[in-house]
Amino acid sequence: MTLLAIYDHSNTLAGGQIAPLPQLFTGNAELIASELGQRGIGFERWPARASLAPDADQAAILAAYAPEIARVQQGGGYATVDAIRLNPEHPDRVALRQKFLAEHTHSEDEVRFFVEGQGLFCLHIKGEVLQLVCQQNDWIAVPAGTRHWFDMGSEPRFCALRFFNNSEGWVAAFSGDPIAQSYPFLDALLQPQGAP
Protein backbone atom coordinates (compact mmCIF):
# COMPACT_ATOMS: atom_id res chain seq x y z
CA MET A 1 0.00 0.00 0.00
CA THR A 2 1.16 3.51 -0.72
CA LEU A 3 2.00 5.24 2.57
CA LEU A 4 2.82 8.80 3.54
CA ALA A 5 4.45 9.92 6.80
CA ILE A 6 4.99 13.61 7.55
CA TYR A 7 7.40 14.69 10.27
CA ASP A 8 8.22 18.04 11.86
CA HIS A 9 11.98 17.90 11.42
CA SER A 10 12.60 20.19 14.40
CA ASN A 11 11.29 17.34 16.62
CA THR A 12 13.66 14.76 15.16
CA LEU A 13 16.84 13.84 16.99
CA ALA A 14 19.89 13.57 14.79
CA GLY A 15 21.45 10.18 14.24
CA GLY A 16 18.34 8.02 14.21
CA GLN A 17 18.84 6.50 17.69
CA ILE A 18 15.16 7.14 18.38
CA ALA A 19 12.64 6.69 15.57
CA PRO A 20 10.91 10.03 14.93
CA LEU A 21 7.15 10.21 15.39
CA PRO A 22 5.23 11.40 12.35
CA GLN A 23 2.52 14.03 12.67
CA LEU A 24 0.60 12.22 9.95
CA PHE A 25 0.83 8.59 8.81
CA THR A 26 -1.71 7.55 6.20
CA GLY A 27 -2.48 5.14 3.40
CA ASN A 28 -5.43 7.18 2.13
CA ALA A 29 -4.62 7.95 -1.52
CA GLU A 30 -6.76 11.11 -1.67
CA LEU A 31 -5.20 12.50 1.49
CA ILE A 32 -1.72 11.62 0.23
CA ALA A 33 -2.32 13.47 -3.05
CA SER A 34 -3.75 16.44 -1.17
CA GLU A 35 -0.90 16.70 1.34
CA LEU A 36 1.72 16.35 -1.38
CA GLY A 37 -0.10 18.80 -3.65
CA GLN A 38 -0.13 21.45 -0.91
CA ARG A 39 3.67 21.20 -0.88
CA GLY A 40 4.10 21.38 -4.65
CA ILE A 41 4.67 17.65 -5.19
CA GLY A 42 2.76 16.00 -8.01
CA PHE A 43 1.21 12.63 -7.21
CA GLU A 44 -1.18 10.47 -9.21
CA ARG A 45 -2.22 6.84 -9.31
CA TRP A 46 -2.36 5.55 -12.86
CA PRO A 47 -4.51 2.59 -13.88
CA ALA A 48 -2.85 -0.81 -13.75
CA ARG A 49 -1.68 -2.49 -16.93
CA ALA A 50 -0.89 -6.10 -17.69
CA SER A 51 2.22 -7.18 -15.84
CA LEU A 52 5.50 -7.14 -17.71
CA ALA A 53 7.36 -10.27 -18.71
CA PRO A 54 10.25 -11.03 -16.34
CA ASP A 55 12.68 -10.55 -19.19
CA ALA A 56 11.01 -7.44 -20.68
CA ASP A 57 13.71 -5.14 -21.98
CA GLN A 58 13.79 -1.35 -21.97
CA ALA A 59 11.98 -1.06 -25.30
CA ALA A 60 9.21 -3.46 -24.23
CA ILE A 61 8.63 -1.59 -20.96
CA LEU A 62 8.47 1.79 -22.70
CA ALA A 63 6.16 0.38 -25.39
CA ALA A 64 3.78 -1.03 -22.76
CA TYR A 65 3.35 2.44 -21.26
CA ALA A 66 3.47 4.47 -24.47
CA PRO A 67 0.07 6.19 -23.91
CA GLU A 68 1.01 7.31 -20.37
CA ILE A 69 4.43 8.47 -21.51
CA ALA A 70 2.84 10.49 -24.31
CA ARG A 71 0.51 12.12 -21.78
CA VAL A 72 3.39 13.16 -19.51
CA GLN A 73 5.34 14.47 -22.49
CA GLN A 74 2.44 16.54 -23.80
CA GLY A 75 3.55 20.12 -24.31
CA GLY A 76 7.16 19.14 -24.91
CA GLY A 77 8.28 18.46 -21.34
CA TYR A 78 10.33 15.48 -20.17
CA ALA A 79 11.66 14.60 -23.60
CA THR A 80 13.87 11.81 -22.25
CA VAL A 81 12.39 8.73 -20.63
CA ASP A 82 13.95 5.46 -19.58
CA ALA A 83 13.14 2.50 -17.37
CA ILE A 84 15.13 1.26 -14.38
CA ARG A 85 14.43 -2.24 -13.08
CA LEU A 86 16.08 -3.88 -10.09
CA ASN A 87 15.60 -7.15 -8.28
CA PRO A 88 17.23 -8.58 -5.12
CA GLU A 89 19.67 -10.57 -7.24
CA HIS A 90 21.11 -7.48 -8.95
CA PRO A 91 24.92 -7.65 -8.45
CA ASP A 92 25.23 -3.88 -7.89
CA ARG A 93 22.22 -3.48 -5.60
CA VAL A 94 24.26 -2.36 -2.55
CA ALA A 95 26.16 0.32 -4.49
CA LEU A 96 23.05 1.44 -6.34
CA ARG A 97 21.13 1.77 -3.08
CA GLN A 98 23.88 3.90 -1.54
CA LYS A 99 23.98 6.19 -4.56
CA PHE A 100 20.44 7.45 -3.92
CA LEU A 101 20.48 7.36 -0.10
CA ALA A 102 22.10 10.72 0.67
CA GLU A 103 20.14 13.98 0.54
CA HIS A 104 20.50 15.75 -2.81
CA THR A 105 18.82 18.08 -5.26
CA HIS A 106 18.54 18.27 -9.03
CA SER A 107 18.35 21.27 -11.32
CA GLU A 108 15.34 19.65 -12.97
CA ASP A 109 12.21 17.87 -11.79
CA GLU A 110 12.49 14.25 -10.67
CA VAL A 111 9.53 12.43 -12.22
CA ARG A 112 8.97 8.72 -11.70
CA PHE A 113 6.26 6.21 -12.40
CA PHE A 114 6.39 2.90 -10.56
CA VAL A 115 5.58 0.13 -12.99
CA GLU A 116 6.37 -2.67 -10.51
CA GLY A 117 7.39 -3.06 -6.90
CA GLN A 118 8.08 -0.23 -4.49
CA GLY A 119 10.53 2.43 -3.32
CA LEU A 120 10.75 5.12 -0.65
CA PHE A 121 10.92 8.80 -1.59
CA CYS A 122 11.93 11.16 1.23
CA LEU A 123 11.40 14.89 0.75
CA HIS A 124 12.85 17.63 2.95
CA ILE A 125 10.67 20.72 2.52
CA LYS A 126 10.64 23.79 4.75
CA GLY A 127 11.24 22.14 8.12
CA GLU A 128 9.26 19.02 7.30
CA VAL A 129 10.27 15.58 6.11
CA LEU A 130 7.80 13.61 4.02
CA GLN A 131 8.33 9.89 3.52
CA LEU A 132 6.33 8.35 0.70
CA VAL A 133 6.37 4.60 0.09
CA CYS A 134 5.58 4.47 -3.61
CA GLN A 135 3.99 1.32 -4.99
CA GLN A 136 3.14 0.00 -8.42
CA ASN A 137 0.99 2.53 -10.34
CA ASP A 138 2.19 5.57 -8.35
CA TRP A 139 3.40 8.59 -10.32
CA ILE A 140 5.40 11.28 -8.50
CA ALA A 141 6.84 14.61 -9.68
CA VAL A 142 9.36 16.28 -7.36
CA PRO A 143 10.13 19.87 -8.41
CA ALA A 144 13.69 20.93 -9.23
CA GLY A 145 15.63 22.08 -6.19
CA THR A 146 13.68 19.96 -3.67
CA ARG A 147 15.95 18.27 -1.13
CA HIS A 148 15.30 14.54 -1.18
CA TRP A 149 16.68 11.02 -0.97
CA PHE A 150 15.46 7.63 -2.16
CA ASP A 151 15.68 4.17 -0.63
CA MET A 152 15.13 1.06 -2.71
CA GLY A 153 15.62 -1.18 0.35
CA SER A 154 18.04 -4.00 1.06
CA GLU A 155 16.10 -6.31 -1.27
CA PRO A 156 15.21 -3.93 -4.11
CA ARG A 157 12.31 -4.95 -6.26
CA PHE A 158 10.97 -2.28 -8.53
CA CYS A 159 10.68 -1.00 -12.07
CA ALA A 160 10.19 2.72 -12.63
CA LEU A 161 9.89 4.95 -15.64
CA ARG A 162 12.13 8.01 -15.27
CA PHE A 163 11.29 11.23 -17.07
CA PHE A 164 13.98 13.85 -17.71
CA ASN A 165 14.20 17.28 -19.28
CA ASN A 166 17.95 16.85 -19.44
CA SER A 167 19.19 14.29 -21.94
CA GLU A 168 22.16 13.61 -19.66
CA GLY A 169 19.72 12.05 -17.23
CA TRP A 170 20.41 11.78 -13.52
CA VAL A 171 22.67 14.59 -12.24
CA ALA A 172 22.64 15.17 -8.46
CA ALA A 173 24.02 17.89 -6.17
CA PHE A 174 24.57 16.40 -2.71
CA SER A 175 23.79 18.63 0.28
CA GLY A 176 26.20 16.89 2.67
CA ASP A 177 23.44 16.78 5.30
CA PRO A 178 23.27 13.30 6.97
CA ILE A 179 19.53 13.80 7.55
CA ALA A 180 18.63 10.46 5.93
CA GLN A 181 20.22 8.65 8.88
CA SER A 182 17.63 10.15 11.24
CA TYR A 183 14.61 8.63 9.49
CA PRO A 184 13.35 5.10 8.88
CA PHE A 185 14.47 3.32 5.75
CA LEU A 186 12.20 1.35 3.44
CA ASP A 187 12.74 -1.99 5.19
CA ALA A 188 11.50 -0.58 8.52
CA LEU A 189 8.48 1.13 6.98
CA LEU A 190 7.37 -2.07 5.27
CA GLN A 191 7.35 -4.07 8.51
CA PRO A 192 3.97 -3.81 10.29
CA GLN A 193 5.68 -3.62 13.68
CA GLY A 194 7.96 -0.89 12.37
CA ALA A 195 5.08 1.36 11.39
CA PRO A 196 4.45 4.25 13.75
Q: Which residues bind Fe ion (CB under 5 A)?
A: 110
Which is closer to Fe ion, CB of 7 or CB of 121? 121
Q: How far is the CB of 150 from Fe ion (least distance, A)?
A: 6
Write the Ramachandran bin of 93: left for phi over 0, alpha for psi from -120 to 50, otherwise beta. Answer: alpha
Shorter beta-carbon distance to Fe ion: residue 56 or 85: 85
The helix or strand, by DSSP H or E, that contains position 71, with its residue range, turns out to be helix 66-72
CB of 140 to Fe ion, least distance (A): 11
Residue placing its CB nearer to Fe ion in the complex, 35 or 103: 103
CB 104 to Fe ion: min, Å: 6
Non-local CB neighbours of 84 within 8 Å, separated by 6+ positions: 159, 160, 162
Beta-strand relationship, 138-142 and 110-125:
antiparallel
What is the DSSP code (8-state) at residue 145?
A: T
- Cα separation of 185 and 166, whole Å? 29
Nearer to Fe ion, 64 or 113 (CB): 113
Could you tell me the CA-to-CA distances from 54 to 87, 103, 124, 196 in Å, in that order?
10, 32, 35, 34
Closer CB to Fe ion, residue 26 or residue 175? Answer: 175
Shortest distance, position 180 Cβ to Fe ion, whole Å: 12
CB-based closest residue to Fe ion: 110
Minimum distance between the CB of residue 47 and Fe ion, rounded to whole angstroms? 26
